[in-house]
Amino acid sequence: AARVVVLVSGGGSNLAALLAAHDDPAYGARVVGVVSDRADAGGLTGARDAGVATAVVAPADFPDRAAWDAALAKTVASFGPRWVVSAGFMRILGAPFLLRFDERVLNTHPALLPAFPGAHGVRDALAYGVRVTGCTVHLVDAGTDTGPVIAQQAVEVLDDDDEATLHERIKTVERALLVDVVGRVARHGLTIEGRRVRLGG
């Protein structure tokens, strides 16, 4: 199976979905490490419970962003991943990291990119008043949520939604999409032509 490292900052429900899928050899991907920027990320507990190795690379332990980014890259590289999946990782990956894992880093985002990038995709979509939002799995590039789209799924906004209810419905769809995409990418690879991504080597 293709080795995958997952980056998490929070509760890690997307990570949990990947961990639920990876025991099946037919899935094609295996989470071999989970790395967080926060020692208190719930996702780390989930990983440990699943017997997956974890590491914390906290910005406060480094003199500047570049040093943190380089340390993150080194830690992730130590797991020898084929793919890196950012699943609720709330920091921008810098040049040293992306150079090392170029076109092998996937991110999941709770909006239909290029609409509503950034840390508050659900809140911003609600505030804008869109009737349809959703989630996106994309390749990470140097921008904020600007990399080529791999897959998207729509979720309707309901009249009485608030950020929490809408995010919960998005996350249900998002987990299934992420598990599907990571498995397909692991099994078949990706072909990138300009901004267009096709699954398959």
Active site residues: 109
Largest CA distance in the chain: 47
- Which residues have a Cβ under 8 Å from the Cβ of 95 and sit 6 or more positions away? 69, 142
- Please select the residue that binds ligand GAR; options are 11, 59, 148, 189, rule is CB under 6 A: 11
Which residue, 58 or 90, has its beta carbon nearer to ligand GAR?
Answer: 90
CA distance 139 to 84: 10
Within 88-131, strands assigned E span 105-109
Applying CB under 6 A, which of residues 7, 87, 93, 181 lies at the interface with ligand GAR? 87
**Residue from the set 81, 121, 134, 183 that interacts with ligand GAR by CB under 6 A:** 121
Span from 11-19, 21-29, 30-38, 77-85 in contact with ligand GAR (CB under 6 A): 11-19
Q: Which residue type occupies 182? A: V
147 scored as a contact of ligand GAR (CB under 6 A): no
Judged by CB under 6 A, does residue 13 bind ligand GAR? yes
* Residue at 69: amino acid letter: D
Position with the least CB separation from ligand GAR:
88
Of 11 and 189, nearer to ligand GAR (C-beta) is 11
Q: Which of 174, 181, 185, 186 binds ligand GAR (CB under 6 A)?
A: 174
Q: How far is the CB of 159 from ligand GAR (least distance, A)?
A: 22
75-109 burial code (b ≥16 CB/10 A, e <16): ebeebebbbbbbbbbebbbbebbbebbeebbbbbb
- Which of 28, 88, 134, 183 lies at the binding interface for ligand GAR (CB under 6 A)? 88
Chain position carrying tokens 């096709």: 198
In angstroms, give the least distance from the CB of 63 to ligand GAR.
Answer: 26
Query: What does the alpha-carbon distance between residue 153 and residue 171 come to, in Å, rounded to a whole number?
Result: 11
d(CA 96, CA 66): 8
Q: Which residues bind ligand GAR (CB under 6 A)?
A: 8, 10-15, 43, 87-88, 90, 108-110, 119, 121, 171, 174
